[in-house]
Structure 1
Amino acid sequence: MVIPVHDVNPARRTPWVTYALVLANILVFLFTPGMTGSVTGDGGLAQMCDLQAFLDRWAAVPQELLQHRMPRLVPTGDTGVGPQGPGCVVAPPGYDKSPELSVLTAMFLHGGWLHLLGNMLFLWIFGNNVEDRLGHLRYLLFYGVCGYAATYGFALLNAGSGAPLIGASGAIAGVLGAYLVLYPKARVWVLVPFLIFLPLRLPAWVVLGLWFVLQAFYSAGQGVSDAGTVAYVAHVAGFAVGALLAWPLRPGTPPPPPPRGALFGRRARPPW
């Protein structure tokens, strides 16, 4: 899997919405209860229960989205000792939860630093040009639509799942789909892990096309959201919706600048 680090495709205007989304995701992560353990590496049972209760309240859960009802018991954030030893206390929910609104809040939640930083890296690199093409308000609406489509797409294929689904991956996948449609020939600097990290400059259609193929391949058997796994189905759904929404804008999209200078990690030679 290649790691993108920069694209050669300057934007005409400041991507304020992309900046705001990145900042919002980071702030929500830092203030998420129970995340201290993921940052310092010393999280205990109390932090785990606190985090689980927070996610059950604010994350999107397929069963709740499709059945539109809360479970009888949810974690309270407290710890206790039961017949099987220490664990998290569960009780009837003491709050009202809107499943539809939980899709939005779940888009700003992440399960760890790698999850957060990976998503923000892709959003930072590819979001500015999509925002530049759509405009600030349309881009924000586009981002939300892709996120909702990704979450409900996952829920429809995993209707019996009670595990919380979190992350901005589905919405960002929509941004990647739009970028591929609008700027397929834009050059992207990537790092390829081959003994060492080898820098290459590849067309966007190669980088993002490979990313989508891998997500589609993994989704065939791993489209789940349990801890330690990835909701690949949501990535595929978000990417497809983003590409479809961006398709009508292709004719009027200015092409990226022609590649100059270094190519595939080396300085390109002049033709003379």
Structure 2
Amino acid sequence: MIPLQDILPRRNPPVMTWFLILLNTLVFFYELSLSTVEREVFFKTWGFIPAIFFDPYFNFLVGFPWYHKFLTLFTHLFIHGGWLHFIGNMWTLWIFGDNVEDRLGPFKFLFFYLVCGILATMLHSFIYPNSVIPLVGASGAISGVMGAYFLLYPLARILVVFPVLFIPLFFEVPAFIFLGLWFLLQFYNGLFSLVLPESFGGVAWFAHIGGFLAGALLYKIFCKRKCRFYRDEYTFFGSFFDIDKP
């Protein structure tokens, strides 16, 4: 299932979501301006490498200053490895970010986004502490947004497309089903990647898992409004929706 949009109104323009998409876009087009060698250096310099963070000797061999590894906790969240990686992440952020930002407020949303991204990276690094492969992408932070959406708006309708024999089928599913299935897919892929790294490698599954769990556990800390349930015609079952009315 490929998500196309959520059918959920918002009260305020998602300025921070727009800003994050713009910043990621500027960085990505800068990457495209680099040669292949320069791009590889860029990834290794500003991507997050677990071994640099957790192996002092490797960090010494690489020669970066002590503060550089902390900078890459943030910088790697704005780097992407290709068009599919970039478009998939930005599309997902656009679908789920605006409503979560609406609930948290723009600046709390930014802080929440970064915290989820860092915690996602930490879980990935805990699983692969000696990895020298740069971790890049906003997936961990966006997974945190999805985790918050999962609990804030469980009955929101998500319009998805499902190709069957090259025929696209369009239908709506409640958010808790779509995001729940998405999380289970990340979880099982993460487990299989431990035993079959050749088949399931190349994707930071545990960053997705860590980000989603971080978002689901921490969103209430950042929530600027008390979460209450109201009736709303936009719910999947026409029953209850976790949204404040103006």
User: In which range does the TM-score fall when normalised by the shorter chain?
Assistant: 0.7 to 0.9
1:197 Cα deviation (Å)?
A: 1.7
Q: Is the alpha carbon distance of 1:132 and 1:259 closer, same or farther for their aligned partners in structure 2, counting shifts above 3 Å?
A: closer
Counterpart of 1:63, as a letter, is A
TM-score normalised to structure 1 length: 0.78
1:70 Cα deviation (Å)?
A: 2.4
Residues 89-119 of structure 1: CA distance to partner in whole angstroms, max 9, x if unpaired? xxxx5x5361111010000000000000000
Do the aligned partners of 1:183 and 1:256 also contact (CA within 8 Å) in 2?
A: no
The 2-side partners of 1:151 and 1:175 are apart by 15
Q: Which structure's CA Rg is the greater one?
A: 1
Do the aligned partners of 1:62 and 1:160 also contact (CA within 8 Å) in 2?
A: yes
Which of 172, 185, 190 is 1:214 aligned to? 185
Q: Does 1:167 align with 2:134?
A: no
Q: How many percent of aligned residue pairs carry the same amino acid?
A: 41
The 1-side partners of 2:3 and 2:173 are apart by 10
The 2-side partners of 1:246 and 1:107 are apart by 19
**1:141 match:** 111
1:36 Cα deviation (Å)?
A: 5.0
Which of 210, 232, 241 is 1:257 aligned to? 232
Residues 13-62 of structure 1: CA distance to partner in whole angstroms, max 9, x if unpaired? 01100000001101100012xx358xxxxxxxxx3221111111100001
The 1-side partners of 2:83 and 2:159 are apart by 23
Aligned residues: 230
**2:73 match:** 103
Q: Does 1:72 align with 2:61?
A: yes
Do the aligned partners of 1:9 and 1:257 also contact (CA within 8 Å) in 2?
A: no
TM-score normalised to structure 2 length: 0.85
1:252 Cα deviation (Å)?
A: 1.7
Q: After the TM superposition, which residues 224-239 of structure 1 pair with which residues of structure 2 at under 5 Å, given as runs?
A: 229-239=202-212
Q: Is the alpha carbon distance of 1:130 and 1:260 closer, same or farther for their aligned partners in structure 2, counting shifts above 3 Å?
A: closer
Q: Is the alpha carbon distance of 1:253 and 1:48 closer, same or farther for their aligned partners in structure 2, counting shifts above 3 Å?
A: farther
Which of 58, 62, 86 is 1:116 aligned to? 86
Which of 46, 59, 62 is 1:58 aligned to? 46
Q: What is the SS of the residue equivalent to 2:170?
A: strand
Instruction: Answer with 19-28 or 245-254: which moved more.
Output: 245-254
More strand by share: 1
Runs of 5+ consecutive residues of structure 1 not aligned to the other structure: 38-46, 74-92, 262-272
**1:244 match:** 217
Q: Is the alpha carbon distance of 1:115 and 1:253 closer, same or farther for their aligned partners in structure 2, counting shifts above 3 Å?
A: farther
1:183 Cα deviation (Å)?
A: 0.2
Q: What is the SS of the residue equivalent to 1:188?
A: strand
The 2-side partners of 1:254 and 1:260 are apart by 11
Runs in 1 of length 4+ with deviation above 6 angstroms? Answer: none
1:256 Cα deviation (Å)?
A: 7.6
The 2-side partners of 1:145 and 1:127 are apart by 15
Residues 44-89 of structure 1: CA distance to partner in whole angstroms, max 9, x if unpaired? xxx322111111110000101222552635xxxxxxxxxxxxxxxx
Q: What is the SS of the residue equivalent to 1:124?
A: helix
Q: Does 1:156 align with 2:145?
A: no
**1:268 match:** none
Do the aligned partners of 1:222 and 1:231 also contact (CA within 8 Å) in 2?
A: no
